Amino acid sequence: MDDFDRVLINRLQHGLPLVRHPWEALAQELGTDSNALRARVQALLDDGTLTRFGPMFDIERLGGAFTLAALSVPEERFDAVAAQLDAMPEVAHNYRREHRWNMWFVLGCATPEGIADTIAQIETQTGLPALNLPKEETYHVGLHFPV
């Protein structure tokens, strides 16, 4: 990663300009051209520096649902259970935590009923009870990770 990549990642965390041609506006702002800019973003995705680049949708306004959930996975099964979750399209991501509930994951489903169905499917496939922690309130926090 070079200095321009850092500038680009820091800038993209604040979103694209809300104009008819956002890549052109951003390229002008950063002193480059839009094709080179998009190629840099693609290179950062290809090499794994960025894992995702795209819009954030309010799934609930579209009729869907999200939830945070957790499992208490025996250490010897951790990788296998992680692979099971990774194979499910409803699982946005999962990660390890250092306590009893050691595998946390986010579910995104087309309907609120899909959350309960997916939790039941995970419990059946893994043989482990899931802790379902649905959102109670929405907070909008400006989050920026300087690179």
Q: What's the average model confidence in pLDDT over 43-52?
A: 91
Contact 85, 93 (CB under 8 A): no
Do 24 and 63 lie in one domain? The reply is no
Mean pLDDT of the region 20-27: 97
Range of the domain at 99: 59-133
The letter for the amino acid at 126 is T
Q: Specify the pLDDT at position 19.
A: 96
Whether residue 109 sits in one domain with residue 67: yes
Q: Express each pLDDT in 66-121 by its tens digit.
A: 999 999 999 999 999 999 999 999 998 889 999 999 999 999 999 999 999 999 99
The predicted pLDDT at position 144 comes to 80
- 42 and 66 in a single domain? The answer is no
Give the whole-angstrom CA distance, residue 14 versus residue 64: 25
Task: Examine the domain organization and report whether 69 and 30 are in the same domain.
Answer: no
Same domain, 29 and 64: no
Residues 119, 96 within the same domain:
yes
pLDDT value for 136: 86
User: For the whole model, what pTM was predicted?
Assistant: 0.66
Do both 65 and 128 map to the same domain?
A: yes
pLDDT band at 145, cuts 50/70/90? confident
Q: What's the pLDDT score for residue 44?
A: 95
Is residue 82 domain-shared with residue 29, that is, in the same domain?
no
Q: How much is the pLDDT for 27? A: 97
pLDDT for the residue numbered 140 = 74
Cα 119 to Cα 19, 32, 64, 92, 145: the distances in Å are 40, 47, 15, 14, 32
Q: How far is 114 from 89, CA to CA, in rounded Å?
A: 12
Q: CATH no. for residue 105?
A: 3.30.70.3460
- 146 inside domain: no
Domain count, the chain: 2
Q: Exposed, middle or buried by CB within 10 Å (0-12, 13-18, 19+), for 88?
A: middle
**Would residue 66 count as lying in a domain?**
yes
